[in-house]
A and B are shown apart, each in its own frame.
Chain A
Amino acid sequence: MRRWTAGALLSLGCACATAPPLPAERLAQAESEVRAAQEIGAERAPQARLHLQEARDTLASARETNGTDPEGAARKLDIARAQAELANALAREQIARTEAEQAHARLDALRNGTEGAETPPAQRGVAQ
């Protein structure tokens, strides 16, 4: 019995010691995409925020499972990157929507003769 236990621990130890690190380039790309989504203001757009959080969770999961399933962990990096890209795209969409609405409001104000009362343009980034 002792021999079995010692063997199992040795096998586990070997597995941990031989687990390759996460692919550096894919990890960097995923992390970079998450940062880009944060910077564009994904936290302030509900849908974008949701996907950004998923990206973070997937990254964490990739780090956790790398020891036991390095190939699966590497694929998780690709998923995390795609989730962050989607968060980024959704944040940009929200910005474009806000700008289009502001342009319409400006035109309406101009036609109604109340242009001076229009709201100032929003700061660059996703509207609250």
Chain B
Amino acid sequence: MRPGTHVLLLGAALSAGCAHLATTDRLDEARSAYEKAQQGPAAASSPADLATAKKFLDLAEKGLETGDPKLVDDRATVAILKIQSAETLGRTHELAAERDRTLQVVSVTKQQLLDEAKQKLTLAQTELEREKAARDTMEARLTQSRSAIAQETQIRDLPEGTVITLPGGQLFQQGRAELLPAGRDQLSRVADFLKSASRSARITAQPPIKGSRKAALALSGQRAERVRDYLVGEGVTAQQIITDPPSATPTRPLPNSPEFATNGAVDIVLQPARGSGAAAGQ
């Protein structure tokens, strides 16, 4: 064998032993995937997983020295899968953080709503107590006022409402529609009662049984209007009271008394309180 042949054989052996690959498509793909992952959320949220992926990419790079493209591709495939896992874990961490933040807001919002509800309940209870106290006061005033009226007049609870019957002789001079001083005092107490009751009322003047019917009816109409005017003057709301036209026949039985027969009467009828049901008798 000539010396030149030896040199050629040695060169061939050396080149076969150092068959270093430049790259493969799969490895390029892995490099590109890693660069992209480094720019994404995985770099911040799962750096350890990305570092593991880098180790596998380095192994693939090292595989180039073997000159075996299949080995390089297999290692690059593992690297790509590891990179994808790191990215997925990064997204998972972000989702878990988002869930935790939202649950924190849920907790705070729940507490706020609970506090608001408690505050509203306290306010409602206070308001309820205040209303109850006002109602109790009003009831007491009403009872007191009714007692004052009942001492000198007839007051009855009938199905149509509470009927206060004022004798005509105590309110007016006989045959006239001018109020007597004592009558004014009585009407002032009735006005207090009406204001306390806060219920609408009708005024009906019952004509005397004796005497001319025509004159008695006219007088009754005037007396009803006079009573209404006085009550309004005492502070009863004008819209709260109306007058009924006088009727030839008594709208309700008059107490059996000569006083009523001679001078008639004035009935003030308070509408029943809402929800009171059938009124109790006196």
A residues contacting B by CB (< 8 A) are 71-72, 75-76, 78-79, 82-83, 85-86, 89-90, 92-93, 96-97, 99-100, 103-104, 106-107, 110-111
Contacts and interface: CB of A to CB of B under 8 A. Distances in A.
Majority SS at the chain A contact face: helix
B71 A75 contact: yes
Contact of A96 (B78, B99, B102): B99
Given A78-B78, A86-B88, A93-B91, A100 B99 contact: yes
Contacts of B91: 93, 96
A82 B81 contact: yes
A82 B98 CA distance: 27
B25 interface: no
A37 B22 CA distance: 36
Interface string B258-280: 00000000000000000000000
A46 B88 CA distance: 14
B105 interface: yes
A92 B96 CA distance: 10
Interface residues of B, number: 26
A86 B77 CA distance: 12
22 contacts: A72-B74, A78-B78, A79-B74, A82-B81, A83-B81, A85-B81, A85-B82, A85-B85, A86-B81, A89-B85, A89-B92, A90-B88, A92-B92, A96-B96, A97-B95, A99-B95, A100-B95, A100-B98, A103-B98, A103-B103, A107-B109, A110-B109
Contacts of B85: 82, 85-86, 89
A89 B109 contact: no
A119 B162 CA distance: 58
A50 to B, nearest CB: 12
A64 B96 CA distance: 41
Contacts of A82: 56, 77-78, 81-82, 85
Contacts of B20: none
A71 B74 CA distance: 11
Interface string B59-98: 0000000000011001101100110110011011001101
B140 interface: no
Given A75-B74, A90-B88, A106-B106, A99 B99 contact: yes
B81 A104 contact: no
Contact of A103 (B77, B78, B99): B99
Contacts of A75: 71, 74-75, 78
A99 B70 CA distance: 42
